A and B are shown apart, each in its own frame.
Chain A
Amino acid sequence: MDDEIARAQEQRRNVEDDALAAVSSVPFDADLYGGVSDPDRFAGYETSIAATAEDDDDDDDDDATEPVNPAARSLASYSGHAIASSSSGLPRAADEEGDGLRAREGEYHRRHPVRGMSPDRHDPFAAAETTPDPSTRTYADAMRDNQPAPATKRRNRWDQSQEDEGDGAAATGAKKAKTASSSSSSHWDAAPDAATPGIGRWDATPGRAGGATPSLKRNRWDETPTPGRMADADGTPAPSVAWDSSFTPTPKKQRSRWDETPAGVGSTAPRATDAVTPAGYAPGPTPFDAADLATPSPGQIARGPMTPEQYQLLRWERDIEGRNMPLTDEELDTMLPQVGYKILDPPASYQPIRTPARKLLATPTPLFTPLYAIPEENRGQQFDVPKELPGGLPQMKPEDYQYFGTLLNEGEEEEQLSPEEHKERKILKLLFKVKNGTPQQRKAALRQLTDKAQEFGAGPLFNKILPLLMQPTLEDQERHLLVKVIDRVIYKLDDLVRPFVHKILVVVEPLLIDEDYYARVEARQIISNLSKAAGLATMIATMRPDIDNTDEYVRNTTARAFSVVASGLGIPALLPFLKAVCQSKKSWQARHTGIKIVQQIAILMGCAVLPHLRSLVDIIEHGLSDENQKVRTITALSLAALAEAAAPYGIESFDTVLRPLWKGTKSHRGKVLAAFLKAVGFIIPLMDVEYASYYTRGVIPILIREFQSPDEEMKKIVLKVVKQCVSTEGVEADYIRNGILPEFFRHFWIRRMALDRRNYKQLVETTVGIANKVGVADIVGRIVEDLKDESEPYRRMVMETIEKVVAHLGASDIDRHQEELLIDGIVYTFQQQTSDDSNVILNGFETVANALGQRVKPYVPQICGIIKWMLNTSSAKARQRAADLMSRIAIVMKLCQEERLMCHLGHILYESLGEEYPDVLGSILGALKAIVNIVGMTKMTPPIKDLLPRLTPILKNRHEKVQENCIDLVGRVADRGAEFVPAREWMRICFELLEMLKAHKKGIRRATVNTFGYIAKAIGPEDVLATLLNNLKVQERQNRVCTTVAIAIVAETCSPFTVLPALMNEYRVPELNVRNGILKSLSFLFEYIGEMGKDYIYAVTPLLEDALMDRDLVHRQTAASAVKHMALGVAGLGCEDALVHLLNLVWPNIFETSPHVINAVMEAIDGMRVALGSAVILNYCLQGLFHPARKVREVYWKTYNSLYIGAQDALVAAYPALDIDGNNIYSRPELAMFV
């Protein structure tokens, strides 16, 4: 929270500076915009200003004064993100602190809202014979619209004003209201988004549709359905009016745009409502409208609907405002004592802040004194309290009003609703429950949606779900749920889904490139199910137009979607289509996408491409000689992906492409060459030895030439290819050593490579690959000196490489001189480590030391000296590292017979136990543990009897790392050296340990419980048991559960007879928790002691008898589970009499309905089956199998079934003899046979 606040403050400061800069009409503060590390940081603010200007088509009269209206401008940029985002069409573009999905999307991802949803398509398969309704969109339409728009498609001010004039006749009065056609040319394309040229295609292409005719592309989805509008026909897709060319838009509709919330409420004051929409923050004709106040008041919020982004923003700002509010005099009075303080006058020299920027942020004074208007009284005003919803609906978040607002006025016009609207409302309600409801509500709603999917129909369902999924403020969980809804609905609707395939795809495809893994998986699942439901033909027909879309984003997602279709329906089904696409003569985009589909198929399906490898390669091979460079590149990349997926098989399929690839590596340069090299690099490992060797030798000179390429992409590919080449069998070590290594090290082992994470990883990987071929000595010899390099990241990279190489190949090849250099370098790196928090250096040290083994001996004193010295430094990190190193090299030191040194270090560590930093303390305890483990209890210095009392107070430490290491150490001592410590000390520790049972980490709780066992063994169970039994009275459940486990462990380690009497005595305490605890301990006890239980079964039977007859459910449940463990333990040991007795008590519980109880009872009966034999249980079952009451029969059959599954064969001998019944003879004469 704190750093969020800090960020907000910083942002505000920036804004102030910004405004200041604007006022003094200095263009842009250079060091503010240029000097900051991330130059894009203020992108949002800039666009907001641009957008303000853009918005001015609406009110041209203001234009002259517009560009520098400092106040308005600062306000505009003050309310920041919302404006920036809405104006560029990207909801919440620069909003860093939000936690919605959009917040973490990259620039590329954000392009998806730009892609509007498409109207329903005509389903040629379902209605083949009928002519498509002119209102529905057919394949031909889709194709036509996808043509690259004419050159004039980039709308400029000039032709927009033309449009406006043309529409002027139709839409009177409201100049700023958009006409239908210009509303379809949504505001997005006005955004300065030249990077995405394809966006323009969503406009109405000027000229084609003409005038006020809404083009086919006019997109209902662009508009935000709101409560006010839900009622009209717009929400339902059925009426063709919306698509009709004679449709004259009413002013109300014209106003709707994506980012503008058309307000049904308060529309009498258009300016006011407009002001709450994002654009409204921009200076309008009356810039000092109340809505422009910097601090939005709650009243304002309640005034009209806002976009969800604004809600989040407001919520955030209000929070911060509240925190940063200056203290009033009254508050100060209450905080400070009355006496002893005096209120001073401000000194004469005090100057209140008068900087223009600050002043601008203060409440603006209107330019003229506004006349006071009596505010309209609104009793129904909801301040901040969410309205209680009718009909048990979950709470509505402000963002939801836009979609689910209609649910609020339920009941008011219930009777006027048409059946269609009823249905819609029903869907809406269910969706809302799925989105916001409790798990039960959600489950029920989801089930209902699924069951009634057919009844609701595809149209109404998807018309509600899809816009919701496009909502910018959706959270991960909500998206997941909606995706689930779609998935199930698709399954139910089956081929009814066809007209909506494209709509669904538009929504789902962006998820395919989401950063979140689960989002990607879900998207794949939906598309796969969709293709199964709609069929291949529909999928192809739907996605075909997108394949040669001008927008790269659309093509990319389409290619991915196609690969999912291929994995869902099988590659062979898609092959003919792919072939056609890849050979498309019409546009290179189609070929590019086709080939990309192949690449994606390879990536997605892995080795499953093998059966079709030949055909896939055949389909794309001609792309290598395509006239378009992009196509050549993607072809090579696809081949690389195919080879990677197929490895190590399938070389014969690549025969045809080897030559062109090979030639390509010789003739191309730059990116294309990189792609070709990658393809060659991935194909080489598939080859036979001699071919691989031949090709490697051929490709190496090119690689070496490209070593010096400045291109990052090329670098990565070269590294990858080198790795692939050197790891093939046909390449000899000598060749690599002399041919590659010198250049390789010269170009790649440079400091810059360590700075980029991906380069770093790839370089380490490649070097390790080379080392596997040429051996440790060569590689280590070349880089060992770099351990003393001055750049820390570089040292770390060297260290990581050495670690990996040594771990793979051992240190036997390292000669004496190298060994010296190595240890020296590592020690240097270790000491010099400053900024680095990773464990790379430590791991390296450990690996190298362990690999060298006894050869480390000469250096041990030096290393210990360093550890000692570092333990005394003032840097906590250094102390922690020293302790960590100690625990890592303890084994090697033992190997070098340096126990004396270790004991010495033990002393020093012991003295450091006063450490205040918990992380360091944890490491110190870890080091002590390592020493104790290796030196042993008797030889340990400081002696255990001194060490342990020092640990007792540390057990109180609540830090997880400290707790874990401490309990491990204490447990170790209790296990091995309990006799060195007086019993009283152990008791003290016992009390501390009880607290540890609360730990969150399971490892700690387990170690604690085991420690109880060790301690009990050392000092006898009585005292420990008394402590534990007392602990059963605590309230906290987890604590009690752990205690019961501990009791069982104590009983196990000290034999049950020492514990059982006390335990059974404690059962007489008339307290529920204690009794249940005892029963649970018994259950664990019998689980642990197994067949030892036969000696105790008669002793505890009376207790269990009582528990099984208790009124309390939990008693019976826990007793049943104790019976289960008991029965399983004593099976075959001759305790049947007691068990039958217990079974008689367990059996009546089969009619329990509580899930846990019935579960325990069933398990107890299963246990009895094992111990008593199935025939006994069968006889119990037979009473009720044909009982007249159905409820009884159900339960008995359930019991019978689990018996039957458990012991089917054994039952054969025990089945009852049935009488002859009419024609049916049930006797089994075979069993009566006798020889």
Chain B
Amino acid sequence: MQASDRFNINSQLEHLQAKYVGTGHADLNRFEWALNIQRDSYASYIGHYPVLAYFAIAENESIGRERYNFMQKMLLPCGLPPERDED
């Protein structure tokens, strides 16, 4: 990046993006990205009541239980993070 780029609108754009959880960057690895995807998905399921109701019917659970399950799964949706090999 050039020196002049540091102050222009695009740096602001990246700064703005960095403020949101779930945005990515060039050093993001597969696991981290997948983690975001999983959490976004669960948040979306919980946020859309009809979707939640649909899943509840499909799994034969109460809606509240389903919501609780999704919420719990958001903790470690893909299991423990892999060992970093470089450090």
Contact = CB atoms under 8 A, between A and B. Distances in A.
Interface of A: 440, 443-444, 1153, 1155, 1158-1159, 1162, 1185-1186, 1190, 1193-1194, 1197-1198, 1200-1202, 1204-1205, 1208-1209, 1211-1212, 1215, 1218, 1221-1226, 1228, 1230-1231, 1233-1235
Interface in B34-74: 34, 37-38, 40-41, 44-45, 47, 54-55, 57-59
B76 to A, nearest CB: 10
Given A1185-B24, A1218-B30, A1233-B58, A1155 B9 contact: yes
A1222 B23 CA distance: 25
A1215 B22 contact: no
Contacts of A1193: 26
A283 to B, nearest CB: 57
16 contacts: A1155-B10, A1158-B10, A1186-B30, A1194-B26, A1197-B26, A1200-B24, A1204-B22, A1205-B23, A1208-B40, A1212-B40, A1218-B37, A1221-B82, A1224-B31, A1224-B79, A1228-B41, A1234-B58
Contact of A1226 (B7, B24, B34): B34
Interface of B: 2-5, 7-10, 13-14, 17, 20, 22-26, 28, 30-31, 33-34, 37-38, 40-41, 44-45, 47, 54-55, 57-59, 78-82
Given A1159-B10, A1201-B24, A1230-B55, A1212 B80 contact: no
B23 A1228 contact: no
A1211 B82 contact: no
Contacts of B58: 1233-1235
Given A1208-B40, A1235-B58, A1221 B30 contact: yes
B71 to A, nearest CB: 13
Q: Please classify the interface of chain B as helix (H, G, I), strand (E, B), loop, or mixed, using the class held by over half of its residues.
A: helix
A1153 B54 contact: no
A1155 B7 CA distance: 10
Nearest to A1155: B8
Contacts of A1200: 23-24
Contacts of A1230: 41, 45, 55
Given A1205-B23, A1224-B79, A1198 B34 contact: no
Given A1204-B20, A1205-B23, 16 more contacts: A440-B4, A443-B7, A1193-B26, A1197-B24, A1197-B26, A1197-B28, A1198-B10, A1201-B17, A1201-B23, A1205-B17, A1209-B44, A1221-B30, A1221-B31, A1221-B82, A1224-B31, A1228-B38
A444 B6 CA distance: 11
Contact of B78 (A443, A1205, A1226, A1234): A1226
Contact of A1215 (B10, B41, B54): B41
B41 A1212 contact: yes
A805 B54 CA distance: 69
Contacts of B81: 1224
A1224 B32 CA distance: 11
B37 A1215 contact: yes
B44 A1198 contact: no
A1218 B82 CA distance: 15
B75 to A, nearest CB: 14
A921 to B, nearest CB: 44
B64 to A, nearest CB: 17
A521 to B, nearest CB: 24
Given A1194-B26, A1212-B40, A1221-B30, A1235 B78 contact: no
A1205 to B, nearest CB: 6
A1194 B7 CA distance: 17
B24 A1223 contact: no
A64 to B, nearest CB: 68
A1233 to B, nearest CB: 4
A1233 B61 CA distance: 13
Contacts of A1201: 14, 17, 20, 23-24
- Chain A to chain B: the 10 pairs with minimum beta-carbon distance, closest first: A1201-B17, A1193-B26, A1201-B23, A1233-B58, A1212-B44, A1155-B8, A1226-B34, A1224-B78, A1194-B26, A1224-B79
Q: Please classify the interface of chain A as helix (H, G, I), strand (E, B), loop, or mixed, using the class held by over half of its residues.
A: helix
Nearest to B37: A1215
A5 to B, nearest CB: 43
Contacts of A1215: 37, 41
A1198 B78 contact: no
Contact of B80 (A1162, A1190, A1223, A1226): A1223
A1193 to B, nearest CB: 4
A1211 to B, nearest CB: 7
A1223 B59 CA distance: 25
A1186 B25 CA distance: 10
A1193 B33 CA distance: 13
Contact of A1209 (B25, B28, B47): B47
B87 to A, nearest CB: 18
A184 B58 CA distance: 92
A1222 to B, nearest CB: 6
Nearest to A1191: B26
A887 B14 CA distance: 53
A1226 B38 contact: yes
Given A1155-B9, A1208-B40, A1235-B58, A1225 B24 contact: no
Given A1201-B24, A1233-B59, A1225 B78 contact: yes
A1150 to B, nearest CB: 12
Contacts of B38: 1226, 1228
A296 B12 CA distance: 54
Contacts of B3: 444
Contacts of B59: 1233
A1162 to B, nearest CB: 7
Contacts of A1198: 10, 13-14, 17
A549 B41 CA distance: 69
A422 to B, nearest CB: 25
B55 to A, nearest CB: 6
Contacts of A1208: 22, 40
Contacts of B20: 1201, 1204-1205
A1235 B54 contact: yes
A1202 B12 CA distance: 12
A1200 to B, nearest CB: 6
A1233 B5 contact: no
A1233 B13 contact: no
A229 B81 CA distance: 64
A1222 B82 contact: yes
A1068 B59 CA distance: 64
A1227 to B, nearest CB: 9
B13 A1202 contact: yes
Q: Residue among B3, B22, B24 with the most chain A CB within 10 A?
A: B24
A1223 B82 contact: yes
Nearest to B3: A444
B5 A1185 contact: no
B70 to A, nearest CB: 8
Contacts of B31: 1221, 1224
Contacts of B79: 1223-1225
Nearest to A1197: B24
Contacts of A1212: 40-41, 44
Contacts of B57: 1235
B26 A1190 contact: yes
B79 to A, nearest CB: 5
A1204 B25 CA distance: 12
A32 to B, nearest CB: 58
Nearest to A1216: B37
A1200 B55 CA distance: 29
B29 to A, nearest CB: 9
B1 to A, nearest CB: 9
B63 to A, nearest CB: 14
Q: Residue among A1204, A1230, A1231 with the most chain B CB within 10 A?
A: A1230
A12 to B, nearest CB: 50
Nearest to A439: B7
A1224 B22 contact: no
A670 B25 CA distance: 72
